[in-house]
Structure 1
Amino acid sequence: MRRRPDSDPTRFATLVLLCIVLVSCTIVYAFYTIALGPSDTNAPEDDVGRDVGGGGGRGGCCKGIEGLELWGAAVKWGTDFKFNRPEECCEACRKMCEGDGGPCLCDSWVFCGDRRGCGSKFGECWLKKQKDPLAPDRHDGGPTVSWTSGLIFGRGQGVIGLETEYGIMHIKLFPECAPRSVAYILELLTLRHCAGCQFFRAEGRGRFWDAKGNHLKNEPFGPPYALLQGTPEVQGGAFEKIPSEFCLDIRRGSIAWIGSGPEFFISLANHEEWRNQYTVFGMVLQEYMGITEKIVGLPTNFDVWNNVNVSVLEKPAPFALRRVDKSSA
């Protein structure tokens, strides 16, 4: 993925070497698949509330932010509910937020994992319910805080709108996979304006991927690279680099940072060749991908960024982040 020329270069310069390694891995994988028998790793395309990635799926990531204590109404008291690791506390909350159509009983968790700082509270896992999951009640934060906290968005929760003049994309956020990334997006959600938020690079699938985003056999991986690239960096504000939070594979609709941000992209294809290279923090719901396709279809100009051919929009497409009606989410 390439940033604009005034940004640091990223990993597309190693794409050829990566493809060679992937071919070798594919051969080994195929051998073991035949020898050990098949396994079902495909998740329904529209089931973004559960598992949306490869190895890689949301079932494999359950993370929080160290040095953060979230407040909220307790649904499970930590004094009588203890674990050894924060991931176990996260999973306990997620289990209370699973199921079809039922209420999400737990949408946040708080774990005390610093033996020295926590003292007798070490291992306490508090499961909580926020009044507003998109604006969680923050009690304390900083390097002296011994608590680790995280959010869990169940089905119908954690959906925000990315508003453009071509329509509003509905985006499902993945805080248990990329908690710091989602925390930044939730901060942007509180702003009335997003000056500087725009898409500037647009590349279709070409002949390399089908309409569902599947890569076609014996075809190259680009250019074009089947993506819509932009930035949510607010003009006049300082952006703090976001640490890598690799967990999910790049699927059609995935939203991921380029490097540590602030530039990001929405993928129009399944990019298995980009495994563990980008932090995926959300996904455009499939019924709204038509808006993404519409922007990608706008007039573009040819350019070269760090020896990579790219397609740049003739006129950048601004966007803003909005809350969406709960019924539509």
Structure 2
Amino acid sequence: MGRKPIDSEPTRYTTFILLLMGLFSCTVVYIFTSAVIRPAENSAVDRTLTVEDGGGGTGGGEECCSGVESFELWGDAVKWGSDFKVNSSKECCKACKDMCTGNHGPCLCDTWVFCGDKNACGDKFGECWLKKQKDTLAPDKKDAGNKIMWTSGIVFGKGEGIIALETEFGAIHVKLLPECSPRSVFNILDLLGFRHCAGCQFFRAETRGQIWDAHGDHIKDASFGPPYALLQGTFGAQGTALDEVSREFCPEIRRGSVAWVGSGPEFFISLANHQEWKKAYTVFGYVLPEDMQIVEKIAQLPTKFDVWTGVNVTVLENPVALKLRRIKSSNVI
């Protein structure tokens, strides 16, 4: 049987070429748009935390094992570094975490100290000291600075490393992630040492609206805000200066993620899973699931409209004061 006229070879090649040109055009447009809608870090738009400015969070089951360079922690040694050498700070951290197996309370090791600068360390190069603190929420710091040759980190076991953000509506318990964002966590631990947190508050509240369901999942064909499903606050206590935190752990933002806005001291708690935010925010903890009802309650308080750098937001009519409180170890996660 003869071939139909519409199946001619020239027509087929023309269609194929047009398809390639279309795909190339779409790729160029996508790259250009991504660059435009993602502002530079610490820009004015960054404060609004909308879909336009990117984001980050706690998804993907990523394994963290990070510490702080040029920083030395003391503590009672449970494994002497002079007898235990490894190839990297990550291996040293993992050796400490391996002593936290099971669900039997505190870790046998909660602090690791590694010497990784071959020139500065000399015969101590590769030493991995595993230690135990008397108080994991107030680790014993020896020194910090460019002349310190050690890299140090802490590990929280089951029921440890949990702080409370106390409000008039209840305490929001947050599990800190020192293996992921160590500098951020040390900042928070420093705040715990103060008896007050004057000026610490939640000031912006955005509900899930009709955009995300109760589990934080995005509803098909819905927009991505406003509202933007977050509760924003600050740890900028009056008379207390927090160190600026450089970018650390930036996975996908999930419901319950607690992350810095820029380099702090402003932070936010996410009420939803924000896959549309492109992993730009440092996550340093997560709210225990049972306390998300308190976060939701605050987010539903009376708000008023405002405009931040051209973006419509909702801020609380009456900001909610908060203070940080340490809690004793428990059997929670």
Smaller-chain TM-score bracket: 0.7 to 0.9
* Counterpart residue type for residue 53 of structure 1: T
Cα pair distance change 1:265/1:76, threshold 3 Å? same
The answer to whether residue 185 in structure 2 is matched with residue 166 in structure 1 is: no
Aligned residue pairs total 292
Aligned to 1:53: 58
The answer to whether residue 13 in structure 2 is matched with residue 8 in structure 1 is: no
* Counterpart residue type for residue 72 of structure 1: G
* Counterpart residue type for residue 90 of structure 1: C
Does the aligned pair in 2 maintain the 1:249–1:280 contact within 8 Å? no
Tell me which of 175, 178, 181 is aligned to 1:178. 181
* Counterpart residue type for residue 160 of structure 2: Q
* Counterpart residue type for residue 292 of structure 2: M
Distance between the aligned counterparts of 1:105 and 1:274, measured in 2? 38
The answer to whether residue 143 in structure 2 is matched with residue 140 in structure 1 is: yes
* Counterpart residue type for residue 8 of structure 1: A
The answer to whether residue 333 in structure 2 is matched with residue 297 in structure 1 is: no
The answer to whether residue 256 in structure 2 is matched with residue 220 in structure 1 is: no
Q: Aligned ranges for residues 1-329 of structure 1 at < 5 Å? A: 8-10=44-46, 15=51, 53-55=58-60, 57-59=61-63, 61-327=64-330
Distance between the aligned counterparts of 1:203 and 1:312, measured in 2? 8
Q: Secondary structure at the match of 2:276?
A: helix
Aligned to 2:19: none
Q: CA deviation at 1:228?
A: 0.3
Does the aligned pair in 2 maintain the 1:58–1:177 contact within 8 Å? no
Which consecutive unaligned segments of at least 5 residues does structure 2 have? 1-36, 38-42
Q: Cα RMSD (Å) of the superposition?
A: 2.4
Q: CA deviation at 1:234?
A: 1.2
Cα pair distance change 1:320/1:90, threshold 3 Å? same
Cα pair distance change 1:248/1:14, threshold 3 Å? closer
> Residue by residue, what CA displacement relative to the aligned partner does 1:61-104 show, whole Å, maximum 9, x if unpaired?
21101111111111111112111211111111111113223541
Cα pair distance change 1:103/1:319, threshold 3 Å? closer
Per the normalisation by structure 1, the TM-score is 0.83
> Residue by residue, what CA displacement relative to the aligned partner does 1:257-302 show, whole Å, maximum 9, x if unpaired?
0111111100001112224210000111000111111111110001
Does the aligned pair in 2 maintain the 1:9–1:306 contact within 8 Å? yes
Instruction: Provide runs of 4+ in structure 1 moved above 2 Å.
Output: 11-19, 52-55, 100-103, 236-240, 246-249, 325-329
Q: CA deviation at 1:162?
A: 0.6
Cα pair distance change 1:297/1:72, threshold 3 Å? same
* Counterpart residue type for residue 252 of structure 2: D
* Counterpart residue type for residue 59 of structure 2: G
Percent of matched pairs sharing the same residue: 62
Does the aligned pair in 2 maintain the 1:177–1:247 contact within 8 Å? no
Does the aligned pair in 1 maintain the 2:45–2:53 contact within 8 Å? no
